[in-house]
Amino acid sequence: GAGVSQSPSNKVTEKGKDVELRCDPISGHTALYWYRQRLGQGLEFLIYFQGNSAPDKSGLPSDRFSAERTGESVSTLTIQRTQQEDSAVYLCASSFYGTPRTDTQYFGPGTRLTVL
């Protein structure tokens, strides 16, 4: 079946503009995650959605970052008033959260964001 998809694949924006990144998880996956990978750095957890529960926003770096998810489907990550340090690859992953054995996260190809 189809994997995790993300759009756009590349986004170039000017400092101060808002951007929206989209993630389509694997159908039936209850959990959805956003990560960020800045150049030369490891992956950094941002936010986690599980079913209809309130999202875990503990990893969001500032209040300029927000994310939404409708049920167990599409998610959008919004960055307001972008700064140059927001430049990174933003990766989305989904999993069927239930037991440790089924918790494998499947990643999308990412959105490369460049803030000029």
Partner 1 sequence: KQEVTQIPAALSVPEGENLVLNCSFTDSAIYNLQWFRQDPGKGLTSLLLIQSSQREQTSGRLNASLDKSSGRSTLYIAASQPGDSATYLCAVRRSGGGADGLTFGKGTHLIIQP
Contacts with partner 1 by CB under 8 A lie at 4, 31, 33, 35, 41-46, 48, 50, 56, 58-59, 91, 93, 97, 100-101, 103-110
Q: Considering beta carbons, is residue 68 or 103 the nearer one to partner 1?
A: 103
Q: Which residues contact 68 (CB under 8 A, 6 or more apart)?
A: 75, 76, 78
Q: Considering beta carbons, is residue 36 or 79 the nearer one to partner 1?
A: 36
Shortest Å, Cβ 53 to partner 1: 8
H-run or E-run covering 95: strand 88-95
Torsion angle, alpha carbons of 6, 61, 36, 111, to 10: 30
The answer to whether the beta carbons of residues 24 and 74 sit under 8 Å apart is yes
Q: Considering beta carbons, is residue 16 or 51 the nearer one to partner 1?
A: 51
Shortest Å, Cβ 113 to partner 1: 15
